[in-house]
Amino acid sequence: MLLGAHVSIAGSIDRSVDRAKELQCTTFQIFTRNPRGWRASKLKDDEVDAFKRKVYEARYEVVIAHMPYLPNISSPLKVGWTKSVNVLIDELERCELLGIQYLVCHIGSHMGRGVEVGIAQVSKAVDLAIERVSPRCMVLLENMAGQRNSTGSKFEDINKILSKIQHGDRVGVCLDTCHLLAAGYDVRTSEAIERTLSKFDEVVGLKRMKVVHLNDSKGKLGSSLDRHEHIGLGEIGEEGFRSFINNPMIRDLPMIIETPEDEIADYYDDLAVLRRLYKNH
């Protein structure tokens, strides 16, 4: 089972590998920088070397990075869009240095200008970044939760974005369970999950799905609320996750939790629940 968590890079980026090992992760996700700022410190050679050495020694085959929070590649505003594209370019360059396979990117907000405008901006941003960097790292567009003005909460919109991107072989999808439920895609029962994943296959194509974010949801089906909950304690529930992670369309993909760490539970607890629910062949 390729199961892991989004771990901290505090202290030094190579410390993330140590934290992933402590959690007994078989894959993991990081921010390569402070996720709440526009600027990033240059990666030091010794940090890069230590990160790559530790990944190799721990035999991690798949490592995932996540874009910072501020960029919005759907933005219709020239200044904000350009800044966002520059961060995407920089992140791809950092992933290349670190040998990271996937970079997850929120599709973002069209800011009231309409989904078609957002779709056009995303496709332009991704193509520009890929042309600038020529990365081995693949960009993964993450489905949105259906928030107001969001681009990419519906499978049809994701498919439109992918169809407009010229470098489609370097772009895939990261599917988030909390976002799915919030956007109106039911993942609470085996039958509902089968319908939702079959719909994704029909509209987007399962071959485009490369990574899954496993997060329970504080919001109800179709609530458009992007609030993550501990595994089994939200609206999806244990049975939903049991059916989801064991579905043949999902079970071999890298799975990452981004659940809260609070007085109720932490990563150790949520990972333990998922390992208990996963059926080994």
Residue positions annotated with a catalytic role: 36, 66, 69, 106, 142, 176, 179, 213, 226, 228, 258
Rounded Cα distance, 3 and 32, in Å: 20
Measured at the CA of 249, the angle between CA 265 and CA 234, to 5 degrees, comes to 25
User: What is the Cα–Cα distance from 252 to 3, expressed in whole angstroms?
Assistant: 10
Contact 16, 30 (CB under 8 A): yes
- Give the position of tokens 């410390």: 15
Closest CA to 141 of 125, 149, 220: 125
**Which of 121, 23, 141 minimizes the C-alpha distance to 77?**
121
Q: Which two tokens stand for residue 88?
A: 């995407």
Q: Residue 125: name the closest of 71, 203, 69 by CA.
A: 71
Are 277 and 240 in contact by the 8 Å Cβ rule? The answer is no
Query: Which residue's entry shows tokens 């939903």?
Result: 240
CA distance 153 to 145: 6
Q: Which two tokens stand for residue 279?
A: 């059926």
